[in-house]
Structure 1
Amino acid sequence: MAVSTSPAAPHRVTWHSHYALFMLAVIYIFNYIDRLVISILIEPIKLEFGISDTQIGLLSGVAFAIFYTLFGFPFGRLADRIGRKPVIALACIAWSAMTMLCGIATSFAMLLLFRIGVAVGEAGGTAPSVAMVSELYPPEQRSRALSVFLMGPSLGAVFGLGLGGWIAETYGWRTAFLVIGAPGVLIGLIFLLTVRSPRIAAPARSAAGAQDENWRSTLRALFETPAFMLVVAAGTLAAVMGYAIGTWNPSFLIRSHGLTMQQAGLLVGIGGGVASTIATLMCGAITDRMVAKDPGWQLIIPIIACVITVPLGLAFYLWPAGVAFHIGSLPVPEAYLFYLGFCFTAIWWSVPCFGAISHLFPPHRLAQATAIFVMAMTLLGVGLGPIIVGGLSDLMNPSLGQEALRYALAASVLLYLLTAACLLAALPRYRRKLQATTPPPANAAVARA
């Protein structure tokens, strides 16, 4: 059975499509650079402002998540109504400027305020971008196109952690914010001036009632789709773990394996980022190929990956300290070898889940559906992931000392099993939804007439 898609047929794929995808991918990379750079700067920020791990969890998690969530759906709805391009461009400029302002913060409260500004800006980026990618490419190429776009978190880790750690250690954490944030302002302007918006067939817009449907009707249609809600739950659980490890991995390597800030940034950013990037591209290609045979593979692939991820994550966090080898003067812990495998499998839920949502809804609801998905991941993922691990670390610190963070992270890995369970529950509902929305073959329609 072929994959069911929204009724809108994307326009013909040209070099303009590829250029737009390239620019969207670059913007998403900087989205994650600006989001993740704070994780490599945790230790010097704690030292300067005298704050706890729980407060760091608030700074990098809860505050960011609340404001991202508040603005996510309105920006998604705005993008569905006026177009994706202006929302994406202005959002990129806004969050990049706020990242730069983080570098001039003179207190924890001021830094928190600027991070909230980053969150508001980034709320207008992801959902409209996913919707735009889905309109640029036909369904049979969509997972591959989304995999190019969704390299953002992986490459963002490479540059945000690797480059951010080097800048912070060489010039200070404030300079890291300034240098990391500046390019996004220029990239947002280039995107606004040079990228063509995809043209969606008029029948798809008018027949769907894009201009007339109010937000309550849209939300009701989204929430009454069980497959969608279970995919949202799965993505949220995976995001709790993802944001927890993204925030705390550098500190884990510093505390439990004796690395410096720069060394931890290089290992987590470059090694983990490259492994995740390769995995994301492979996932997109394999998903498109398998879904062409059976659309259920859209969810089966992330189920398998989540189950494999758990033992790799536990091995990484629980393996005792010890150096496997050196790359020049850089010590590589033995546990890091498990980390590379962990990074490779842990990302395989992302592309299929975003792709599944693009097949469930028509264009006039797609950015809003994606916004709900991203909002849930951010509110609970960004909001709870860092602060849960930080709180567990503080709780266990009296008895375990610096090793408390190790066990807090190991416990959170088990969330991938719950992610797999949600996707398994979504699978039959997803199949039924696709069957219900797949138009009948032309000869069948004639026979019934």
Structure 2
Amino acid sequence: MNSFVRPTWRTHYALGVLAAIYVFNYIDRLLMAILIEPVKAEFGISDTGIGLLSGVTFAVFYTVFGFPLGRLSDRIGRKPVIALSCIAWSLMTIFCGLAASFTMLVVARIGVAIGEAGGTAPSMAMVSDLYPPERRSTALSVLMLGSSLGAIFGLGLGGWIAQHYGWRTAFVVIGAPGIFLGLLLMLTVRAPKPTMLVNPRQAVQTHWAKTIRELFQTPSYLWLVLTGGSAAIAGYAIGTWSPSFLIRSHGLSLQDAGLLAGVAGGAGATLGTLTCGILCDRLARRDKGWQIGVPLIGTLISIPFGLAYFLWPVGTAFSIGNTPVPTAFLFYSVFSFFGTWWATPCLGAISHLFPATRLAQATAIFVMAMTLLGVGVGPLLIGMLSDGFAHRLGSEGLRYALASCVSLLVVASVFLAMALPRYRNHLNHIAPSPAPLANAVSA
């Protein structure tokens, strides 16, 4: 029988620190998106080269280190892995701003990728350790605000700093706070002690290949991983290239593009993330299938708004101060609200499928699929399509490259539809194994 202590202020404080770390995880990851144009100008590289830098290079190293670090956190605890990883990726973000050549910038981004590989899955597993199943999607939605808040600060603040002080300063200023947050987690948060740590020798004896095989034998897990991979291709491609789209197709400045894509788009994503998490927890009490049904509905709604954003003609709806707001951007506000609905519920579903002994590893595989396909393929695919379309369409090639990637959300919806009956049947007819939490805590 699973037992959870009632969440206290320490529980919520731990969630708050983890959420702050996750914000900077995404700030450091997304910062390159708003700095594409000045980095291209300084080093003289193509859109494909930028896609390789911000996509494949990052994704490969993130993926290679993601599962081992998730496995390590299942063995020794989440807190030390998260804290040290946060300090590491923050230092490497600072080094990005000190890069004297494109090669040095690539090496620094590899360091960021390795560091962030140890932050995401263990953080999600730690939140699942902290909260009982009926409150888990809401808690995970708070953590997942990191992606949307990261867009607000990474794109908005990053664009402002780059506009006034240069792109190198943006890396240095935004990278520094993560060092403090890593130390704050290590020194002030009482981490939950999952029951699997009572007998760590038993957990260590399972070979990693056998663990992976058994994970994918769980009904619905494969479809959830495929959902994460396909939806992430579209999500990361749009997140990476949207500022450049606003600059090239709608004539915005670097600062204005960062403010709109970051602040306005991020605000919609923030509300969407919280909404889907709360909806999942409430509706899943009636029918466990809503854990998958909610993201399926949200993803389907987002598709037409995404297409309208990229294909709507040039025109200004209104201005906020001196910042013109393109009419097309109104559709992006709705797209950003519903386009985030797949991530948090899928992670919540995974937390209900697996025990604590395998939760970080199962989460790591999901996040690795998101990263390898989303970060790795998404930006590169759009860069290659943009370069290909540019021969006939010039700067408008990026518009149609981005519109084409929205179709991948249709694929993600199909995978969610495949996962839904398998997930419901598994939880209704086979005893679920959500991650338990012992009453003990460690400093």
SS of residue in 1 equivalent to 2:301: helix
The offset of 1:206, in angstroms, is 4.5
1:241 is matched with which residue?
Answer: 234
**Which residue does the alignment assign to 1:121?**
115
Distance in 1, Cα, partners of 2:307 & 2:48? 23
**CA distance in structure 2 between the aligned counterparts of 1:76 and 1:29, rounded to whole angstroms:** 19
1:259-408 map, 5 Å: 259-408=252-401
Aligned to 1:444: none
Tell me if the contact between 1:40 and 1:165 (Cα under 8 Å) persists in the aligned partners. yes
Once the 2 structures are TM-superposed, how far is the Cα of residue 208 of structure 1 from its aligned partner? Answer: 11
Give the letter for the 1:83 counterpart.
G
Aligned residues: 433
SS in 2 for 1:325: strand
**Partner secondary structure for residue 293 of structure 1:** coil
**Partner of residue 434, structure 1:** 427
The 5 Å alignment of 1:21-60 reads: 21-60=15-54
* Alpha-carbon contact 2:128-2:136 (below 8 Å) kept: yes
Measured in 2, the distance between the counterparts of 1:333 and 1:210 equals 54
Secondary structure of the structure 2 residue equivalent to 1:219: helix
Alignment partner of 1:100 is 2:88: no
For structure 2, list consecutive stretches of 5 or more residues without a partner in the other structure.
Answer: 434-443
Equivalent residue in structure 1 for 2:130, among 133, 136, 147 = 136
Write out per-residue CA displacement over residues 324-365 of structure 1, whole angstroms, 9 at most, x where no aligned residue. 111111100000100100100000001110000000000000
Larger mean Cα displacement after TM superposition, 188-197 or 218-227: 218-227
One-letter amino acid of the counterpart of residue 214, structure 1: H
Is 1:198 the counterpart of 2:198? The answer is: no
2:207 equivalent to 1:214? yes
What is the rounded CA distance, in whole Å, between the counterparts of 1:11 and 1:82 in structure 2? 21
Cα distance change, pair 207–69 in 1 and its aligned pair in 2 (3 A)? closer
Is the CA contact (8 Å cut-off) linking 1:10 and 1:201 kept in structure 2? Answer: no
Give the fraction of aligned pairs with identical amino acids, expressed as a percent: 62
* Residues 159-215 of structure 1, C-alpha deviations (whole Å, 9 max, x = no match): 00000000000000000000000000111011100000113346x855994243222
410-419 vs 221-230, greater mean Cα deviation: 221-230
Is contact 1:231-1:353 (8 Å) kept?
Answer: yes
Q: Give yes or no for the alignment of 1:63 onto 2:57.
A: yes
Distance apart, 1:306 and its partner CA: 1.2
SS in 1 for 2:319: strand
- Quick check: 218-227 or 283-292, which moved more? 218-227
Q: Which moved more, 1:82-91 or 1:101-110?
A: 101-110
**1:1-60: CA deviation from partner (whole Å, max 9, x where unpaired):** xxxxxx643333111110000000000000000000010000000000000000000000
Shift of 1:432: 2.2
The range that moved more, 58-67 or 7-16, is 7-16
Structure 1 counterpart of 2:122, which letter?
P
Instruction: Work out the CA distance in 2 between the residues paired with 1:91 and 1:341.
Output: 34
**Which whole-Å CA distance do the structure 1 matches of 2:177 and 2:362 have between them?**
30
**C-alpha RMSD over aligned residues:** 1.5
Change (3 A) 1:348 1:289: same
* SS of 1:324 mapped into structure 2: strand
Answer whether contact 2:195 2:356 (CA < 8 A) is retained.
Answer: no
Give the corresponding residue for 2:440: none
Task: Give the AA of the match of 2:182.
Answer: G
Deviation, structure 1 residue 436: 4.0
**Residue identity matched to 2:166:** G
Q: Distance in 1 between matches of 2:252 and 2:303?
A: 25
Q: Deviations over 1:344-397 (max 9, x none)?
A: 000000111000000000000000000000001101110000000010000010
User: Does structure 1 retain, via aligned residues, the 8 Å contact 2:77–2:193?
Assistant: no
CA distance in 2: counterparts of 1:63 and 1:223, whole angstroms: 27
SS at match of 1:210: helix
* CA distance 1:433–1:397, shift in 2 (3 Å): same
396, 406, 411: which is aligned to 2:404? 411
Corresponding residue number in structure 1 for 2:438 = none
Structure 1 unaligned spans of 5+: 1-6, 441-449
What secondary structure is seen at the aligned counterpart in 1 of 2:6? coil
Q: Distance in 2 between matches of 1:261 and 1:322?
A: 18
- What is the TM-score of this pair, normalised by structure 1? 0.94
